[in-house]
Structure formats: structure tokens, C-alpha cells
Amino acid sequence: MHRSQADLAVTAAVAVLACGAAEGGVPTAVTAVLGIMLFAAPGYLLGQLLLGARVAGLERVLVVAGLALAVPILGGLLLLATGVPLHRGAWVGLLTGVTLLADVALFLRRRRWRPAPASGQLARLRLARLRLPPRHAAAFGAAVLVAGCGLGLARIGAARQPYPGFTQLWLSPRRDGVRTASLGISNQQGTTTRYRLVLLHHGSVNATWNLTLGSGQTWQRAIRYTGRYAIAADLYRLPDLSHPYRHVATAGDRVSGS
């Protein structure tokens, strides 16, 4: 294989190995190394396609870094727009697809190899590398802007991600030889919530508690019971007293709930 194609072989191998590692039981350290290489590969290949040999040094490094960040950001937005869940398989497929497509495009370009420029042209090219062309500055600025905005939106979205609140109600028989159960409520609604808890003994109201619990707060109590279908509990979210929000009942040592 021609030496100029060695990087294409390496990036293609990284893409294939990363796909295999994502599907198989590969050690975490190996998966992490392949993941980092797969993350960087599209940026390197797109840098080769867009910049060629005209840009070198720090400028090339910065542009490649910007492209490496832009690929998962723009690709992630595309996956979201098409309804694809952003799980590990989707990210691996995205980066692998971009890497292999860029490999093919760069391979076809390099097949159309042209003679090296004359010495005078080479000197002018080297001098031009000392300056930052406006189009490259614009491309790098756009990549940095997209990457920065994407990371900022990702952080804000993660912080403000709406998760549905819930309230946990339990009635758990204890294993201490005494027929008692632990009755409890855990408020995970994300806000202070008012409840009414009704304890039923053989279908009749045995006790009632009006509770106000802050987010993350828990209330519990030990309840003594007898009989096969001894006790049940209905939990209401005030002010609604018509429809139980949660229900749980004991049947001997079994517990059912909703």
C-alpha cells in the first residue's frame, strides 16, 4: 500500500474495531481508547479533505479539533431530527459512517495525484502558510462557534431536562416474627406536595393522615395487622379526593400495589 494511504487504513480499522467493541464484551480500557480515536478520526479526515496540504502547524490542529467537535454536534442534531434515540449504538454508527465515507472520498482524491509544485511555487506556498487565509479563519470560527453553542446547549438541556415526578407508596411486611408492616411515602415530584393517606382494615377506614412532604422527603410508620387480607392503603394527592393516586394492599406475606 502506498504510504500516503496508511492513515486511511488506520482510521478505517479504528472504525471497524470500535463497532466490534461496542457490540462485544471488550475491556473498558480498550473501548475507551477506540472511542477517543473514533471521535478524532472524522475531524482528521475532513481536515485532509478541506485543507489538503495548504495548511500546516497550529492552524491545522485547531481546524481539525473544531471539525472533530462539529461532527457529533451536527450529527446528533440530525439524529434527533430523524427520531433516532441518542444511545451508544447511534453515536458509534454516526462516527463510523462519517469516518468511512471520508476515507472513501479521500482515497479517490489521492488517486488523482498531481506532480509536486516547482521550487518557486513551493516557496510561495510555505510563505502563504504563515498567514491565515480568510476562508480558513471563517471555517475555523464557524466550527468553534458551532461546537461552543452545541456544548452550551447540551449543558443547559441536561440541567433543565424535565423528568416526570412520581410518589412512591409502600406497605412492606416485616420479617421480625411480629405481624407488622412498614407503611411509607416518598415524594419525588420535584415540589412540595400535599397528600391524604387512608389506611383500610378489612375494607373499613382504620386511620387517616394529612401530610405535606417536601421534594425528596419521606414519611413512614409501622402498622400492626392480622388476618390474610389484613390492610390496604389509598394515597390521594390533594385536593383530589375522588381518585386514589396510589394503592397498595397486603395479602399475607404478599403485597400488591398500583
For 126, other C-beta atoms within 10 Å of its C-beta total 10
Each residue of 206-254: pLDDT tens digit?
Answer: 889 999 999 889 999 888 776 555 688 899 999 988 889 988 887 654 4
Q: What is the pLDDT of residue 212?
A: 92
What structural domains does the chain harbor? 3-159 (no CATH), 166-257 (2.60.40.10)
Using CA atoms of 113, 118, 124, 130 in order, give the dihedral in degrees to the nearest 10. 50
Q: What is the pLDDT of residue 44?
A: 82
Each residue of 128-166: pLDDT tens digit?
Answer: 544 545 554 555 555 555 555 655 555 565 555 566 788
Residue 35: band (very low, low, confident or very high) from pLDDT cuts 50, 70, 90: confident
Rounded to an integer, the average pLDDT of 172-186 is: 76
**More reliable by pLDDT, 175 or 168:** 168
> Rounded distance, CA 72 to CA 87, Å?
13
What percent of the chain has pLDDT above 90?
Answer: 10
| pTM for the predicted model, two decimal places | 0.45
Beta bridge partners of 256: 249
Report the candidate in 164, 166, 167, 170 with the shortest Cα–Cα distance to residue 257: 170
Residue 94: band (very low, low, confident or very high) from pLDDT cuts 50, 70, 90: confident
**More reliable by pLDDT, 5 or 177:** 5
For 88, counting Cβ atoms within 10 Å of its Cβ (0-12 exposed, 13-18 middle, 19+ buried), the class is exposed
Q: What is the pLDDT of residue 209?
A: 93
Q: What is the phi/psi pair of residue 144, to 5°?
A: -65, -40
Given a cut of 60, is residue 74 above it in pLDDT?
yes
Cell numbers that stand for 86 in this block: 441518542
* Alpha-carbon torsion (184, 185, 186, 192), positive or negative: negative
